[in-house]
Amino acid sequence: MKKYLKVLLHPVTQFNLLVVGFLILVQGLHTHAHYTMSVDTDSYVHNYCKKNLKQCKRIISNLED
């Protein structure tokens, strides 16, 4: 048990856990942004075109396919 605790508390292991945890956090936020489409650039265009169909008929027809 002491061997595992020694490995877990080693600075290199802590750094690796910190980096992996940060990457998981960033990926989670990124996926959530795409899922809700509130931060994604395409969502702004898509929402604008849904409100202004005459100006964006070609874009809307491509998005709905």
Domain boundaries, the chain: 2-64
Give residue 32's pLDDT. 83
State pLDDT tens for residues 16-44: 999 999 999 999 998 887 777 655 666 67
Q: Look up the pTM and report it.
A: 0.53
Work out whether the CA dihedral 50, 56, 58, 62 comes out positive or negative: negative
DSSP classification of residue 55: T
3-state percent breakdown (helix, strand, coil) of the chain, nearest 5: 80, 0, 20
Q: Is the pLDDT assigned to residue 54 strictly greater than 70?
A: yes
The mean pLDDT value of the chain amounts to: 81
- What would the two tokens of residue 62 be? 């491509």
